[in-house]
């Protein structure tokens, strides 16, 4: 069954806009957001601890690893600092730590000027470094994921580096969808959807888990959810909808749309 990972970075962004120097005093609280997402049916919680700490803070990671009851997915750059933090918070009994997570470390490219992650990680262009990073994270007890473009060369490189999971970047598909007003028959939309499909097929053939995400919303998610994908990671659309209906209801609605599309995709496969 398809699973939903809810990215709560935007909850922290709202808090930091008002309380940049005192996250422990500010609201909304990402921990409460994670709890509401779980009650809405989230199968995982995603956070991105950026090098500049623009939204999620170290304190958030510490609290979330203790209180999240589902999978905790830590997005991060492949830096020595982030590797150290991920392993320290992984809850390994050998280290005498308590807490359950994070369970998955997802390596992403990171630009200081970008609003959100744009474009996939170039695993093929830095394969020796990626092998080293993956090995260190796996030794720390983490599953390791790569956020990549729908590029078969990058998929092959992920397998060579030892990644457990590949999350395919769906931004190009989502942007093509928006540009044509949601017409699924448009060639550009079909091309990007097929690129995601091909990448996912190769990921599965190589024994890795096929996830997908970026810029997915309630209107464009169904064709992606209909693919044989294990998990979708969605944040902005859900947090935006929650302004009007509440986070628990927004998560439940997204999960329903995903599951219905996934079941229909399996029926017609």
Task: Tell whether the model's pLDDT for residue 116 goes beyond 80.
Answer: no
Q: HSE on the CB side for 198, CA within 13 Å?
A: 13
Token pair in block for residue 168: 């395919």
The contacts found for 20-26 with CB under 8 angstroms, 24 or more apart, are 23/57, 23/59, 23/60, 24/59
Mean of pLDDT values over 110-136 = 85
Please determine, for residue 17, whether its predicted confidence score (pLDDT) is greater than 70.
Answer: yes
* Cα separation, 217 vs 41, whole angstroms: 17
> In the 8-state DSSP scheme, what is residue 54?
S
Q: Which of 16-20, 55-59, 116-120 has the lowest mean pLDDT?
A: 116-120
pLDDT category at 25 given cuts 50, 70, 90 is confident
Structure tokens given for 203: 């990921």
Residue 90 pLDDT:
87
pLDDT band at 52 (very low <50, low <70, confident <90, very high): very high
Provide the strand spans (E) within 41-195: 44-48, 71-76, 104-107, 143-148, 165-169
pLDDT given at position 117: 57
What residues contact 127, with CB distance under 8 A and at least 6 apart? Answer: 157, 160, 161
Mean pLDDT taken over the chain = 92
Q: Which two tokens stand for residue 128?
A: 């020796």
pLDDT (0 to 100) of residue 22: 77
- Strand 71-76 and strand 44-48: pairing? parallel
Number of structural domains in the chain: 1
* 221: CATH: 3.20.20.70
pLDDT band at 49 (very low <50, low <70, confident <90, very high): very high
Q: Tell me the average pLDDT across 115-144.
A: 92
Cβ neighbours of residue 72 closer than 8 Å, sequence gap 6 or more: 44, 45, 47, 64, 65, 100, 101, 102, 103, 104
- The dihedral through the CA atoms of 264, 267, 268, 269 has a sign that is positive
pLDDT recorded at residue 92: 45
The continuous run of DSSP H or E covering 38 comes out as helix 30-39
**pLDDT value of position 269:** 61
Range of the domain at 251: 3-268
Give pTM, 2 decimals: 0.93
Using one digit for the tens of pLDDT, what is the confidence trace for 148-185?
Answer: 999 999 999 999 999 999 999 999 999 999 999 999 88
pLDDT surpasses 50 at 28: yes
What angle in degrees, to the nearest 10, is found between the helix axes of 152-161 and 127-139?
A: 50
Give me the active site residues, please.
48, 75, 214
The whole-number average pLDDT for the span 75-101 is: 75
- Residue 184: the pLDDT is 87
Summarised one tens digit per residue, pLDDT across range 183-240 is 988 999 999 999 999 999 999 999 999 999 999 999 999 999 999 999 999 999 999 9
């Amino acid at each position: 069954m398809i699973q939903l990972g809810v990215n709560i970075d935007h909850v922290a962004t709202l808090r930091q806009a008002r309380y940049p120097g005192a996250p422990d005093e500010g609201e909304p609280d990402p921990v409460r957001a994670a709890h509401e997402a779980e009650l809405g049916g989230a199968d995982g919680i995603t956070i991105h601890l950026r090098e500049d700490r623009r939204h999620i803070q170290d304190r958030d990671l510490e609290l979330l690893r203790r209180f999240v009851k589902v999978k905790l997915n830590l997005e991060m750059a492949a830096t020595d600092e982030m590797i150290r933090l991920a392993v320290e918070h992984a809850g390994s009994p050998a280290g005498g730590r308590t807490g359950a997570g994070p369970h998955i470390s997802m390596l992403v490219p990171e630009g200081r000027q970008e609003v959100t992650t744009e474009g996939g990680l170039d695993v093929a262009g830095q394969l020796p470094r990626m092998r080293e990073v993956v090995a260190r994270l796996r030794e720390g007890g983490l599953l390791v994921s790569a956020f990549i473009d729908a590029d078969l060369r990058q998929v092959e490189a992920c397998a060579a580096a030892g990644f457990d999971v590949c999350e395919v970047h769906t931004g190009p598909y989502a942007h093509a969808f928006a540009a044509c007003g949601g017409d699924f028959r448009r060639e550009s939309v079909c091309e990007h959807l097929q690129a995601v499909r091909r990448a996912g097929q190769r990921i599965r053939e190589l024994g890795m888990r096929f996830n997908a995400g970026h810029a997915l919303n309630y209107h464009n998610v169904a064709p992606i959810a209909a693919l044989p994908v294990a998990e979708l990671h969605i944040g902005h659309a859900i947090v935006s909808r929650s302004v009007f209906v509440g986070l628990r209801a927004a998560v439940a609605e997204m999960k329903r749309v995903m599951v219905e599309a996934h079941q229909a995709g399996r029926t017609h496969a």
